Amino acid sequence: MTLTPEQIGASNKANMETLNSLSKNAFDGLEKLLELNLQVVKTVLNEQLSHIQSTANVKDAHTLLIMQAQFLQPFAEKLSSYSQHLQNINYETQTAIMQTAKEDIKDRSTKIQSLVTEFSTASPGNGDVMVTTLKNAIANANQVYESSQKAIKQVIDISTQQTKLMTEAAIKASEELSNTATKKTL
Task: Give the pLDDT confidence score for residue 150 in this predicted structure.
Answer: 79
Task: Give the pLDDT confidence score for residue 28 in this predicted structure.
Answer: 93
Residues of the chain whose pLDDT is less than 70?
1-3, 119, 122-127, 130, 174, 177-178, 181-186
Task: Give the pLDDT confidence score for residue 123 in this predicted structure.
Answer: 64
Domain boundaries, the chain: 5-185
Task: Give the pLDDT confidence score for residue 38 in this predicted structure.
Answer: 94
Question: Long-range CB contacts (< 8 A, 24+ apart) of 95-104?
Answer: 96/25, 96/28, 96/29, 97/22, 97/25, 97/26, 98/149, 98/152, 100/18, 100/21, 100/22, 100/25, 101/22, 102/149, 104/14, 104/18
Task: Give the pLDDT confidence score for residue 34 in this predicted structure.
Answer: 93
Backbone angles phi, psi at 77, to 5 degrees: -65, -40
Task: Give the pLDDT confidence score for residue 125 in this predicted structure.
Answer: 61
Alpha carbon distance 104, 16 (integer Å): 11
Task: Give the pLDDT confidence score for residue 113 in this predicted structure.
Answer: 76
* Interval 65-112: pLDDT, tens: 888 878 877 877 788 788 888 888 988 888 888 888 888 888 887 887
pTM to 2 decimal places: 0.64
